[in-house]
Amino acid sequence: MKRKSLSAPKKTPNFYLAKLKDPQVKKLYKVFSNKLTSLDVSKKKIMVGVSGGADSLSILFFSQCYALKHKVKLYPVIIDHNLRKESSIEAKNLKFKLKKNFSINCKILKKKNIKISKNIQSSARDLRYDLFYKECIKHNIGYLLLGHHKNDMIENFFIRLLRGSGLKGLVSFDKSVNDYNDIKIVRPFLSTPKKELININKKTFGFFVDDPSNNNDRFLRNRIRKLLRNLDKEGLNFDKFYLTLKNLSKSNQVIEFFVEKNVVENSKYFQKDKKIILNQSFFKNPDEIILRSFMQLIQSISKKKNYPRGKKVLGLLDSIKFSNKNVKLTLSGCIIEKISDSVIIYPEK
């Protein structure tokens, strides 16, 4: 008879629930559980993105605990970007280890013949979300859980700052729940430092996969990460910086309030013709309100995932506002016509 390994964790719910007795694990699980309960996730399906990093494995552990406690159907997913020759082997090894030692069966998603030569990290992110979304739709899953944390939010701020983003771009990563078409993307640990998730990982699964691309200075995020580590050594208080970021987010919320007010009061949607008509008052607002309102309406007509580029929208708005004649222009799959004092937006055929 083959002797059982005494080093492998017990493949029963007791392994997971016993870990929750640790005070630090219990504390963060409460944060996780409260977030999901507030979204009414109980007895529903959730997908978890598993990269193999300490942060994603921590959220996988908490998701498994939540699934056991609340009868939630869990879909752990590993994305194989297929950008490195080792990536497929790494994904299979991660899947094998989680199944053998922790009774978690992950599904590997990948696209064949992927060729990305520029904007690699951005393209890889788009690929991930596309694969996540299609799998969610396939299995009627309404929630996607990701392990992003406080460090990710601060890194994202600096990346956007270097790219000259406006206020909305700078705080674009501050929401713990975002809508992605029909899916809710949930990031329960945006206010949690990475080091806390690393500690959780040590107390639970006890392993993580180190992606070699995280040490490649070719990528802007990695250079930002090193910059932040150096700033930390010089005494930069990240808690204060995080507070500043949250204050910026509050300012952004004020702007979003007036954007929504402008859209509701000064635009009208006609379902039959699939067109929107803007009245003259729409353009009697501060420039930022007009810009965001207009971009929101363009996206609602075009049905595209992303907003149109701000520079193109600004040029189009100038053509509309400063022309005394009727104007007909195109942008992001939409036709925009200025007729007298009104502007009409409808899809291209």
pLDDT digits (tens, 9 = 90+) for 163-191: 888 888 888 888 888 888 889 999 999 99
> Is the confidence at residue 338, as pLDDT, over 50?
yes
Report yes or no: 293 and 263 within 8 Å, Cβ to Cβ: yes
- pLDDT averaged over every residue in the chain: 87
> Is the confidence at residue 326, as pLDDT, over 60?
yes
Looking at residues 329-345, what average pLDDT do you find? 91
- Specify the pTM: 0.82
More confident residue, 139 or 312: 139
> Is the confidence at residue 299, as pLDDT, over 50?
yes
Q: What's the pLDDT score for residue 203?
A: 96
Element spanning 94, H or E: helix 87-102
CA 14 to chain centre: 32
> Is the confidence at residue 206, as pLDDT, over 80?
yes
The tokens of 113 are what?
């013949």
Q: What's the pLDDT score for residue 312?
A: 86
Q: 250-291, pLDDT tens digit by residue?
A: 999 999 999 999 999 999 999 888 999 999 999 999 999 999
Q: What's the pLDDT score for residue 163?
A: 81
Assign 224 a pLDDT band (cuts: 50, 70, 90).
confident
> Is the confidence at residue 66, as pLDDT, over 80?
yes
Q: 233-252, pLDDT tens digit by residue?
A: 777 777 778 888 889 999 99
Q: What's the pLDDT score for residue 113?
A: 64
Q: What's the pLDDT score for residue 286?
A: 94
Report yes or no: 144 and 47 within 8 Å, Cβ to Cβ: yes
Q: What's the pLDDT score for residue 293?
A: 95
Q: What's the pLDDT score for residue 215?
A: 73
> Is the confidence at residue 146, as pLDDT, over 90?
yes
> Is the confidence at residue 20, as pLDDT, over 80?
yes
Question: What residues form DSSP beta bridges with 344?
Answer: 277, 337
Q: What's the pLDDT score for residue 115?
A: 65
Assign 337 a pLDDT band (cuts: 50, 70, 90).
very high
Phi then psi dihedrals of residue 284, to 5 deg: -100, 50
Q: What's the pLDDT score for residue 102?
A: 94
Q: What's the pLDDT score for residue 305?
A: 67
Report yes or no: 154 and 228 within 8 Å, Cβ to Cβ: yes
Domain boundaries, the chain: 13-236, 245-347
Q: For strand 107-110 and strand 73-80, is the pairing parallel, antiparallel, or unpaired?
A: parallel
Q: What's the pLDDT score for residue 7?
A: 39
Does residue 43 sit in helix, strand or coil? coil
Q: 78-122, pLDDT tens digit by residue?
A: 999 777 778 889 999 999 999 999 999 999 998 776 666 566 667
Number of neighbouring beta carbons within 10 Å of residue 169: 17
Provide the percentage of residues in the chain whose pLDDT is more than 90. 52
Classify burial at 16, counting beta carbons within 10 Å of its beta carbon; exposed 0-12, middle 13-18, buried 19 or more: buried
More confident residue, 231 or 5: 231
How many degrees, rounded to 5, is the angle at CA 284 between CA 290 and CA 322? 80
Of 53, 290, 273, 255, give the one whose Cα is nearest residue 149: 53
Q: What's the pLDDT score for residue 119?
A: 66
> Which homologous superfamily is 13-236 in?
HUPs (3.40.50.620)
Q: What's the pLDDT score for residue 3?
A: 40
